[in-house]
Amino acid sequence: MPELPEVETIARRLREILIKKTITSVTIVKEKSFQGDPQKIVGLPILDVSRRAKLIKFHLPNGLHLLAHLKMTGQFIFVAADGSRLGGGHPTDDWISQLPSKHTRVIFELQDSEGKAHHLFFNDQRIFGWIKVVTDQEVEAEFRKYGPDIHTLDASLKYFTQKISKTNRKIKQVIMDNSIVSGVGNIYACDGLNTACIHPARRASSLTPEEVKKLLHALKQVIVLGIKLGGATIDHYRTVDGFAGKYQDHVRVYGREGEQCKNCGGTIKKMQLGGRGTYYCQNCQI
Ligand SMILES: [Zn+2]
C-alpha cells in the first residue's frame, strides 16, 4: 500500500510533468474508479498537482479539482509522447509493461503547448482506489476527515500531546489513526517507535511528556527521510527508474525480524498488532 512518502513522490513527479497540459479526453474503463462528469474537465488545463494526507489533488480552473486516492493498489503512470514513463504507486508489472493493461481503470489524454499527445493511466488491481471531480467546497469537506500531516507544523507538540494523552489505545494504533495525524503508515510507525525507543503496544496515555516529544520528533524525521528517498519500494521492482523509492534501504526495524536493532544491537522481533505485522526491538523499546 502506498504510504504518504510514496504519494508525495508521485504528486511531485506529476506536478513536474502535468502543469499546463490540457486534458483532451477521459476514458473511463471501470465506472467504479471515476466519480463525476468527465465532460466537465475535458478542455481544461492542469494548473497544479498537490497532496494532502494520501490524497492527490489536480488543480483545474473554475474551482474544480480532480481528487485521487490510490488506496491499496492504485498507481499513476504517465507515458509521454516519446514513450518515456514516470509515475509511482503500487509496484506491479504495469510499471514496465504495455499500457493500457487489464488493470487500467481510467485513461487521460493530455496535450502540451506544442500539440503533442501524452497519456496518464490510472491502474488499480483491486479497484478500491478512486478519482473524483470535485469543487473547492467538496475538497475541503474531504480534507476535514484527516488530521494534520505528521511532518507539517500543524502537527504541533501541543496538538499531538492533547490527542495522545486522552486515549488508552495502543500507541501504534493511535499514530496510525488518520483522524489524529495523517501520513503514518505501518512502515513509518514501526520505524518512528523504534527511533523513540517506545514499545508499539504501550497505552498512549502512559507516555511521559518527554516520550511524546521524542515520538513526534521521530515520526517527523522518518517521514521526511521517506519523502527525501522517494518512499519505499519493498519488492522486486525496487530498481525501476522514475518509479521506485529507496527508503527500504534505510528502514530501522520494518521487515528486519531477527536482525540487529540500530539503537542497541538487540534482536528485532515481529508481532501482530491490530492485524498489522509490527516490528520492534524487545531490548530498547519499552
Ligand atoms: Zn534496540
Digit-coded pLDDT (tens) for 169-224: 999 999 999 999 999 999 999 999 999 999 999 999 999 999 999 999 999 999 99
Read off the C-alpha cell for 243: 518509479
Tell me, in angstroms, the distance from the centre of ligand 1 to residue 254's CA: 13
State the pLDDT confidence band at 239, using cuts at 50, 70 and 90.
confident
Distance CA 195, CA 217 (A): 9
Tell me, in angstroms, the distance from the centre of ligand 1 to residue 279's CA: 11
124, β-bridge pairs? 74
Same fold for the pair 4-143 and 157-281 = no
- For 88, half-sphere exposure in the C-beta direction (CA atoms, 13 angstrom radius) is 30
Query: Contact at 8 Å (CB) between 185 and 272?
Result: no
Tell me, in angstroms, the distance from the centre of ligand 1 to residue 231's CA: 24
pTM, to two decimals:
0.94
In this predicted structure, what is the pLDDT of residue 282?
A: 95
Q: Tell me: the pLDDT tens digits for 31-57?
A: 999 999 999 999 999 999 999 999 999
Tell me, in angstroms, the distance from the centre of ligand 1 to residue 60's CA: 48
- DSSP letter string, 152-220: STTS-HHHHHHHHHT--SBHHHHHT-TTT-BS--HHHHHHHHHHTT--TTSBGGG--HHHHHHHHHHHH
Tell me, in angstroms, the distance from the centre of ligand 1 to residue 218's CA: 15
Residue 286 has pLDDT above 90, yes or no: yes
In this predicted structure, what is the pLDDT of residue 234?
A: 80
Q: Give the residue extent of every domain in the chain.
A: 4-143, 157-281
Residue 238 has pLDDT above 90, yes or no: no
Tell me, in angstroms, the distance from the centre of ligand 1 to residue 257's CA: 12
Q: Tell me: the pLDDT tens digits for 129-183?
A: 999 999 999 999 999 999 999 999 999 999 999 999 999 999 999 999 999 999 9
In this predicted structure, what is the pLDDT of residue 165?
A: 95
Assigned architecture for domain 4-143: Alpha-Beta Barrel (3.20)
Write down the CATH number for the domain with range 157-281. 1.10.8.50
Q: Tell me: the pLDDT tens digits for 242-273?
A: 899 999 999 999 999 999 999 999 999 999 99
One of 21, 52, 54, 57 is an active-site residue; which one? 54
- Whether 2 is catalytic is yes
Residue 235 has pLDDT above 90, yes or no: no
